Amino acid sequence: MADGPINKTEGKVGGIVIRDDWPGYRLDLFTYPEHYSGDLECVYLPHGIIMDRTERLARNIMDDIGDHDIVVLCVLKGGYQFCVDLVEYIKALSRNSNKSLLMRVDFIRLKSYLNDQSTEDLHIVGGEDLSVLTEKNVLIVEAVVDTGKTMKALLKHVETFRPKMVKVAGLLVKRVASGMGSLPDYVGFEIPNRFVVGYALDYNEYFRDLNHICVISERGKIKYKI
Ligand code: HPA
Ligand code: MG
């Protein structure tokens, strides 16, 4: 792992930068569910560092918008774990400061991946009536942003409900050649364009029950292919 900005994407990407040559940690240095043995290549981001980085993002968010009530919009399914942990840290900060932050949590479900490939379109496949966002300060919480196209489409959709303000927190931003999409305001990690699983990120619905963010092995890809 390395720090310092080496992102190729333009604009406001930040976060901990994971370089292209980062090999990850050997699996035997950590614990993970027995049922995935042989299905993983390495531990890419251990659970602990994800939590620590998320705690800091919560502080940045509180510093910026902690004076306003917010509606957290969790992008399912992959964003659920990041959203839970981020909201917990925001709540803890709110308790320990004299800011009393009213938070609502809503959900939107998007789907754009089959196997490890992105499909072109934004599919909103469920979620609540987003009219709750009108005149509100909205924090969109998303696990992975790669081209940013999905985020751009989602922002456009959210804007139609005329929120007062919209910020985006993304746990992972992938360095991809094709920019043009929208990037998060708060970034956990900037990573190479690799497919990762765990911490609620899936490969065909598997691996969400893995705490660390890992790279899937060829065997794992074949085993869970559809
Ligand atoms: N893993 C899981 N889901 C994803 C990814 C990924 O790397 N990128 C976009 N959706
Ligand atoms: Mg998925």
Instruction: Locate the ligand 1 atom nearest the alpha carbon of residue 118 and give its number.
Output: 9
**How far, in Å, from the CA of 199 to the mean position of ligand 1?**
11
Q: Cα of 100 to ligand 1 centre, how many Å?
A: 35
Residue nearest atom 9 of ligand 1, based on CA coordinates: 144
Report DSSP letters for the chain, one per residue: -B-S----S-SS--SEEPPTT---B-GGGS---GGGTTSEEEEEE-HHHHHHHHHHHHHHHHHHHTTS-EEEEEEETTTHHHHHHHHHHHHHHHHTSS----EEEEEEEEEEEETTEEEEEEEEEEE--GGGGTTSEEEEEEEEESSSHHHHHHHHHHHTT--SEEEEEEEEEE--S---S---SEEEEEE-S--EEBTTB-BTTBSTT-SSEEEEPHHHHHHT--
**pLDDT value of position 10:** 42
Ligand (nearest to CA of 147): 1
Q: Which two tokens stand for residue 107?
A: 């959900």
Q: State in Å: Cα 170 to ligand 2 middle.
A: 15
Query: Does residue 113 have a pLDDT over 90?
Result: no
Residues forming the active site? 146
Residue 176 Rama label (left phi>0; alpha psi -120 to 50; beta): beta
State the CB neighbour count (10 A cutoff) for residue 84.
Answer: 15
* Position in ligand 1 atom list of the atom nearest CA 196: 7
What's the mean pLDDT in 17-46? 97
Q: What is the distance in A from the centroid of ligand 1 to the CA of 145?
A: 8
Ligand 1 pocket check: which of 80, 113, 202 to mutate, most ligand atoms within 8 Å of Cβ? Answer: 113
**Which numbered atom of ligand 1 lies nearest the CA of 112?**
10
197 lines ligand 1 (CB under 6 A): yes
Looking at residue 92, its pLDDT comes to: 94
The average pLDDT across 207-226 equals: 97
Mean pLDDT of 155-170: 95
pLDDT attached to residue 71: 96
Distance CA 152, CA 179 (A): 11
For residue 196 and ligand 1, the question of a CB distance below 6 A is answered with yes
171 lines ligand 1 (CB under 6 A): no
Q: How confident is the model at residue 182 (pLDDT cuts 50, 70, 90)?
A: confident
Residue 8 has pLDDT above 50, yes or no: no
pLDDT in tens, 119-162: 666 677 765 688 999 999 999 999 999 888 888 889 999 999 99
pTM: 0.90
Encode pLDDT of 75-112 as tens digits: 999 999 999 999 999 999 999 887 788 999 999 998 76
